[in-house]
Amino acid sequence: MWAKFFIAAAGASAALAGLAIVAISVNLARILQFAHLPARAAATVARLILILVCSMAVLIPQPLSMLGVEILAFTAATWFLEIRSNRHGIRAHAELGRPRFESLLESISGEVQLLPFLLGGALLLSGRPSGYYCAAAGVIAIFIFSTLNVWVLLVEILR
């Protein structure tokens, strides 16, 4: 039932991750001028790769509990990069004179995107197929926020 959704998610996340990497490559000199943007770019790519690897894991025939372990492990690795990005963003608040609200909003939105994967992984680990719905919500959230981040890295950074 979920195969078609996660096949589409894998393809779309790979394409958007590729676009993000191109955006980073094209604007690398400008991105490096802002202390918080390299970590933000890395977290954006990591979240898209999270969709890719979780989608691929869903397509492997395996018990729900093993899928849950995999999703939790992938999410933990992504969360590490998210925390690193948040630290850089909060530090940039002071260094660049960024509004505190902007740094906090960026940090909270990054963390919130990963919560559905944590919940979905935990539900799948406990043998509950409803974890797929949570993972799907996480996929959609990451697509929305990552598209905005790619826009910033590709277009807004040049203003």
pLDDT tens for the chain, 159 residues long, are 899 999 999 999 999 999 999 989 999 999 999 888 898 899 999 999 999 999 999 999 999 999 999 999 999 999 998 998 888 878 877 777 777 777 788 888 888 999 999 999 999 999 999 999 999 999 999 999 999 989 988 888 888
- Domain regions of the chain by residue span: 3-158
For residues 46 and 81, the answer to whether their CB atoms sit within 8 Å is yes
What is the per-residue pLDDT for 43?
A: 93
The overall longest dimension of the chain from CA atoms, in Å, is 50
pLDDT of residue 78: 96
- Could you tell me where the DSSP H helices lie in the chain? 3-26, 28-31, 37-58, 64-96, 100-125, 131-154
Neighbours of 8 (CB within 10 A): 12
Q: What confidence score (pLDDT) does residue 93 get?
A: 74
Q: What is the pLDDT of residue 152?
A: 87
